Amino acid sequence: MLFSRDPELKRRIELATKSQRQPSASFALLHDPIEDGEATAQIIKAAQAKADAEMDSKVRMGRCHGIWKRMKIILKEEHGVVWYSPGEMNPGVKFD
């Protein structure tokens, strides 16, 4: 199972589930809780803009996966930040 390989991902999903989902909501996508911090939110937003600018503008389907992959690299290499994409935070959800 994915969680047994990455206990930090499991911890962040559990934290996000507690802090981001309302009990009355039937479904809501989770995001990495580090995105809620003011300093990291700005870094993540800048990494997303940089990753998006690097992507081929002709790519439509699956574009989010390429952007997320590049964002992870930018965040880790340039800022020392470990970030989990929406795809990782929402196992079982299909993104195009």
The answer as to whether 80 is a domain residue is yes
In a 3-state reduction of DSSP, which class is residue 85? coil
**pLDDT score of 23:** 61
Tally the domains of the chain: 1
The answer as to whether 95 is a domain residue is no
Q: Identify the domain containing residue 30 by its residue range.
A: 2-89
Average pLDDT value for residue range 83-92 = 94
Q: To the nearest whole percent, how much of the chain has pLDDT over 70?
A: 91
Give, for 59, the enclosing helix (H) or strand (E). none
Contact 82, 8 (CB under 8 A): yes
Give pTM, 2 decimals: 0.85
Q: Which amino acid is at 81?
A: V
pLDDT tens for 27-64 read: 789 999 999 999 999 999 999 999 999 988 777 788 99
The answer as to whether 6 is a domain residue is yes
CA count, 13 A, side-chain hemisphere, 59 = 12
**pLDDT score of 3:** 59
The answer as to whether 28 is a domain residue is yes
The answer as to whether 96 is a domain residue is no
Contact 67, 50 (CB under 8 A): no
The answer as to whether 12 is a domain residue is yes
